[in-house]
Structure 1
Amino acid sequence: MNDEVFRQTVHFLMGVLGAAILITVQPRTALIFLGVVLFIGFAVQDILTRGYRIPALVVLVDEAERRGKVPMKGGIAYAISALLCYTAFGPFYTAIGLVTLGVLDSVSTLVGIRVGKHTLYRKKSVEGTLSGIILTFAILAFFIPPWTALFVAVVAGVVEAFSPIDDNLIIPLATCIVLALCCFTV
């Protein structure tokens, strides 16, 4: 499995598993979970940036992170965004935000790498962005009304393609804001 496929598989699983955990555990447990994830992310980043080389940890981070990037930056952004969304919008909106992030980013990246021929913005392709939006819509439509799922998928796709802010940080928040603006209630 090449590095990007592994990285996007981790990304997808983190979105789906994070969502499942947040909607199945008690609120206090969810907040503790997010705090622990954030703490571990910062601790691992600190260990690696100080030059310590823990073999199993180095292999995992090397496979899950892009070369030349700050180690654990994406995971930390994910945990911060999930924590903010959870405290501001609650577990269901946050779960939808994490699923949106996991599906949209993974699909758009992998499809964009494989078949993307038309550049949309920077390294984002039209093919990747559209496929991410379509699959995200299809999955979200199982959990929220179809028109809301479509709106969320399109807004998240545009945010993912054009935002200068880390997608792990901004997609869950954008999703929660769209859900709130649509007056979607659980």
Structure 2
Amino acid sequence: MHLWLRKFWHLLGNAIPIIYYFSSLSSKKAAFIMFIIFLCVFVLDVLRLIYHPFNHWFLNHFGILVKEKEKHAITGSTYYFLAISITIFFFPKNIATCAILYLTLGDPIAAIVGHYLPLTPIFKQKTLGGSLANFFTCLIIGVCFFPFIIALLGAITATLAELFSPIDDAISIPLCSALVLSIL
């Protein structure tokens, strides 16, 4: 149940790239707004980590949305808003939107499928089922923005970033994908 609630929370993150894509906001203004949100979330995370009563309150009210390893560390939301602000700032709207959707759709679908239909473990706690689900989700997203070959390479990049990233995949998926998409 916790997995589903956490992933539903992550799926709500799709509102940001969709609103950005259809808005008339410039990339600089949108990135600035996302950076302000990042700073707020970061400050709350830091306060939560240094002031234990606040962390206790936070975990009592929102703990179901937090991974076990994030209960006493920076949450994925902080990384998410940082990556979103950087991606929007440095890349054109279609590339940024696609790369962010790789994260907000591909990653939670990979986690759900990987949990219920793992097929076989392939790297750390990642599974073939989850990686295939991530790849096909990202491929479908990619073809909405780009020709098939570019979408294919973008989906491969997002899948590899989710699978092998040494840093939080909320940062690696959109940034690596956007970089590859912009080169193509």
- Counterpart residue type for residue 9 of structure 1: F
Which of the numbers 103, 106, 109 marks the counterpart of 1:107?
A: 109
Residue matched to 1:46: 46
Note the alpha carbon deviations across 1:47-74, whole angstroms, 9 max, x for none. Answer: 3211233888545531221113245521
Whether the 8 Å CA contact 1:104–1:133 is kept in 2: the answer is yes
Aligned residues: 180
Provide structure 1 residue ranges, at least 5 long, that are not aligned to the other structure.
none
The alignment partner of 2:122 has SS state of strand
What is the aligned-residue RMSD (CA, Å)?
Answer: 2.0
Once residues 113 and 66 of structure 1 are traced to their aligned partners in structure 2, the CA distance between those partners, rounded to angstroms, is: 14
Q: Cα distance 1:59–1:145, how it changes in 2: closer, same or farther (>3 A)?
A: farther
Once residues 61 and 36 of structure 1 are traced to their aligned partners in structure 2, the CA distance between those partners, rounded to angstroms, is: 21
Percent identical across equivalent pairs? 19
Once residues 105 and 146 of structure 2 are traced to their aligned partners in structure 1, the CA distance between those partners, rounded to angstroms, is: 15
Q: Cα distance 1:163–1:90, how it changes in 2: closer, same or farther (>3 A)?
A: same
The alignment partner of 1:120 has SS state of strand
Matching of residues 134-145 of structure 1 within 5 Å = 134-145=136-147
Matching of residues 68-107 of structure 1 within 5 Å = 68-69=69-70, 70-107=72-109
What is the TM-score when the length of structure 1 is the normalising length?
0.87
Runs of 4+ with >3 A deviation: 52-61
Q: Cα distance 1:25–1:128, how it changes in 2: closer, same or farther (>3 A)?
A: same
Which of the numbers 150, 153, 156 marks the counterpart of 1:151?
A: 153
Note the alpha carbon deviations across 1:127-153, whole angstroms, 9 max, x for none. Answer: 110111112212321222222111111
Matching of residues 108-127 of structure 1 within 5 Å = 108-127=110-129
Q: Cα distance 1:51–1:135, how it changes in 2: closer, same or farther (>3 A)?
A: same
Provide structure 2 residue ranges, at least 5 long, that are not aligned to the other structure.
none
1:179 and 2:181 are equivalent in the alignment: yes
